[in-house]
Amino acid sequence: MKQQAVSTLSLSPNAVKVLEKRYLMRDETGNPVETPEDLFRRVAKHIASADAAYGKSEKEIINIEQTFFEMMTSLDFLPNSPTLMNAGRPLGQLSACFVLPIGDSMESIFDAVKYAAIIHKSGGGTGFSFSKLRPKGDVVGSTKGISSGPISFMTVFDTATEAVKQGGTRRGANMGILKVDHPDIMEFITCKDNNSRLNNFNISIGITEKFMQAVEDDADYDLINPRKGTVAGRLKAREVFDKVVAQAWKNGEPGIVFLDRINASNPVPALGEIESTNPCGEQPLMPYESCNLGSINLSKMVKTACDATTDVDWIKLKNTTWQAVHFLDNVIDVNRYPLEQIDQMTKSNRKIGLGIMGWADMLIQLGIPYNSDAAIKLGEEIMAYIQTEGRLASAALAEDRGPFPNYEQSIFAGEMMVRNATITTIAPTGTLSILAGCSSGIEPLFAVSYVRNVMEGTKLIEVNSHFEQKARELGLLNRELMGNVAETGSIAHFDQFPQELKDIFMTAHDITPIDHINMQAAFQKYTDNAVSKTVNFSNSASTRDVEDVYMLAYKMGCKGVTVYRDGSREDQVLSTTEQKQAVPVSTEQKRVPKKRPSMIKGVTRLMNTGCGNLYVTMNEDEEGRLFEIFTNMGKAGGCASSQAEAIGRLISLALRADIDPIEIVKQLKGISCHQPSWQESGRVLSCSDAIAKAIEKYLCSGKNGNGNGKSDCQEVMRIGACPECGGTVEHEGGCAVCHNCGFTRCA
């Protein structure tokens, strides 16, 4: 009996595009063979089928399927991407998070490489602790040779990940963790200093309570050789901590994970210690464990009374929580695990990770500023409610199905019988939030308005639906103003908007790092696992600012911290601070390029490209304005050289006709070819991209075309062009996501 699709499915055009590109089943020619309704029906049917093993009748299973279907099509709840992609399909792998062990032997290391490749192929992300590997320079007993250390083996994992395309839908992602007392810790801290290395890894330092105490006491601490278990040296804790802070300030990595705190809430400590997490850090797992995640859309958990006042719909939130726990527990049974060890370990503890998205939207609907005490208080109440109701739902399942097999060895034994060792996790929901049309995780809005590429050469201005309504009420919904707002994404510096509106529609650019940590800590208080969150800093932030956030996160009970300082990665997108007014030009008028002065000065920048070295010379006129561009390939002749010269001539023509150089950068940056390259400042996608980045660096080095020595660009919290669509990639939820096409750098 086939159920009919309900009418509640209302997807944005962008959500439909992302579904078609990444989730819907395709035929051999690459064309979708199912609709979004078909996808949700496929998933609901497959997940509901698990109830047959627990004595449910066919009629009951049909009703459960319909409940799951309506929960997803109403966008009240969505499971993690592998479940949407693979449920009811031959691959059948439904989990997002995995942790694999790495022992101190070649056999263990390369088993982990093989297992990781299998997991990546199935659509999952992997976490590793390299802390058991002997340090660099240590003796290899079997050969009497010298160990190359954990960092060298990380490059093996990175290369293997690069070679695996995850079913054509998701790229591989890894988490690499090294304990702070490992002898190679200083090398690990800086292992991603070069942007050409370990690009398929997020890295975090495994911090211990002992180390943090030594930092506070300005004391030394012991380094431990993991092979021998003996002291291998001592370091000043403050110097190591300062190095971590400085590196995170420089390029966002490493993050920090408080391992002792994670193990203090380990639900089954008798089985051993937790040493690693999934790639975004929110899911600590035992070796060979996996976890499936899902998120409740809080923007749908708000009700409006007859007098137009709004409040949290607690009854709907309870019902959705119970249904979601049922759904996620079923996933464990119908999941097709990539390894037998993972199957056994996952079913022994039956961990699930129920989290949220749409938090910023809920606050906007309730009229509560993100950075207010009221928001912190409500965040605690919401998560405490979900955690409590989630455990009650798990307990109800345990009555019907039995507790998880390792229950007697768990912290719950003798107190509360539950079906799942953990219930709650707050994950990044970058792509899911696009499908749901809501804000990501517990992050503030990434923008109230932004430009979205819909096809080659076509751009649309996207406006947050709640903001659009408010702007319309105020008579401010016009294309010119929305276009100006879209340049930075924020209304904080626009006088047209009242302060009350600015307070409600805050973006990640507008709140302080302390506000980020306060919100993360509020949700962590009632989350079984961990909270994925990016703490954003302005470009002018100091290392002391980063240090203060790390210490605050530690003192407030967070289990880890990920930071990103605006502009700390060279390949990020730049936006103009002020929108220059376009000069009207008559259709009968021709714009004549300015004549070249008799004397001109400039600078030359070397850019590495896949075609060879490209020298880009940027010359100024007498007033210090960018006037012309010359290019020269290191190896003369050929198509690449002629194309680069042609681009340079056209850019020069545009500059001499008073075209804003920022607009030229926007057109050229992100264009890719078959032969990208790397240099110290990041990836160079093509010769066009190289020229754009050379101009961009010039503009942001104190040259802005008005001779005042100030930069004409405002660096916003964006880390570059999407490699698939050229859209803007944002740092949020401990991950990086393109809100245009759904591309993500995290599994």
For 440-453, write each residue's pLDDT tens digit: 999 999 899 887 76
316 falls within a domain: no
Same domain, yes or no: 589 and 456: no
CA dist 502 → 266, 440, 744 (Å): 41, 20, 29
Greater pLDDT, 243 or 613: 243
Same domain, yes or no: 246 and 119: yes
pLDDT for 65 equals 98
With H, G, I as helix, E, B as strand and everything else as coil, classify residue 232. Answer: strand
336 falls within a domain: no
Across the chain, mean pLDDT equals 87
330 falls within a domain: no
pLDDT band at 747 (very low <50, low <70, confident <90, very high): low
pLDDT band at 8 (very low <50, low <70, confident <90, very high): low
Cite the active site residues.
278, 280, 282
Q: List the structure tokens of 203.
A: 């890295």
Q: What is the DSSP letter of 327?
A: H
Same domain, yes or no: 461 and 597: no
| Contact present, 56 and 64 (Cβ < 8 Å) | yes
pLDDT for 449 equals 87
Same domain, yes or no: 491 and 608: no
Q: What is the DSSP letter of 553?
A: H
| Contact present, 433 and 440 (Cβ < 8 Å) | yes
434 falls within a domain: no
**Which residues have C-beta within 8 Å of that of residue 184, sequence separation ≥ 6?**
135, 136, 149, 150, 151, 178
Residue 254: cis peptide before it, omega within 30 degrees of 0: yes
678 falls within a domain: yes
pLDDT for 171 equals 65
122 falls within a domain: yes
* Last residue in a domain, options 277, 306, 327: 277
Q: Is 97 exposed, middle or buried (0-12, 13-18, 19+ CB in 10 A)?
A: buried
Same domain, yes or no: 131 and 263: yes
Greater pLDDT, 101 or 665: 101
Could you read off the pLDDT of 21-51 as tens digits, one per residue? 889 999 988 899 999 999 999 999 999 999 9
Same domain, yes or no: 490 and 610: no
Q: List the structure tokens of 401.
A: 């199905």
**96, HSE (Cβ side, Cα atoms, 13 Å):** 30
* Total number of domains constituting the chain: 3
Tell me the average pLDDT across 621-647: 79
Q: List the structure tokens of 612.
A: 């060879």
Same domain, yes or no: 249 and 145: yes
Q: Please provide the size of the chain in residues.
A: 747
193 falls within a domain: yes
* Last residue in a domain, options 258, 277, 296: 277
Same domain, yes or no: 139 and 249: yes
| Contact present, 349 and 421 (Cβ < 8 Å) | yes
Q: What is the CATH number of the domain that holds 119?
A: 3.20.70.20
| Contact present, 22 and 742 (Cβ < 8 Å) | yes
Same domain, yes or no: 473 and 609: no
- Helix runs in 353-408, H state only: 359-366, 373-401
Tokens 């306060």 identify what position? 518
Same domain, yes or no: 585 and 489: no
Rg over alpha carbons for the chain, rounded to the nearest Å, is: 27
Tell me the average pLDDT across 644-666: 85
- Regarding pTM above 0.85, the answer is no
Amino acid at position 208, single letter: T
Please give the share of the chain, as a percent, with pLDDT higher than 90: 62
| Contact present, 172 and 747 (Cβ < 8 Å) | yes
With H, G, I as helix, E, B as strand and everything else as coil, classify residue 577. Answer: coil
With H, G, I as helix, E, B as strand and everything else as coil, classify residue 428. Answer: coil
The β-bridge relationship of strands 677-679 and 682-684 is antiparallel
Same domain, yes or no: 701 and 616: yes
454 falls within a domain: yes
* Last residue in a domain, options 240, 262, 277: 277
Range of the domain at 463: 447-506
| Contact present, 596 and 628 (Cβ < 8 Å) | yes
Which candidate, 734, 577, 739, places its Cα nearest to that of 127?
A: 734
Same domain, yes or no: 500 and 579: no
pLDDT for 2 equals 44
Could you read off the pLDDT of 368-378 as tens digits, one per residue? 999 999 999 99
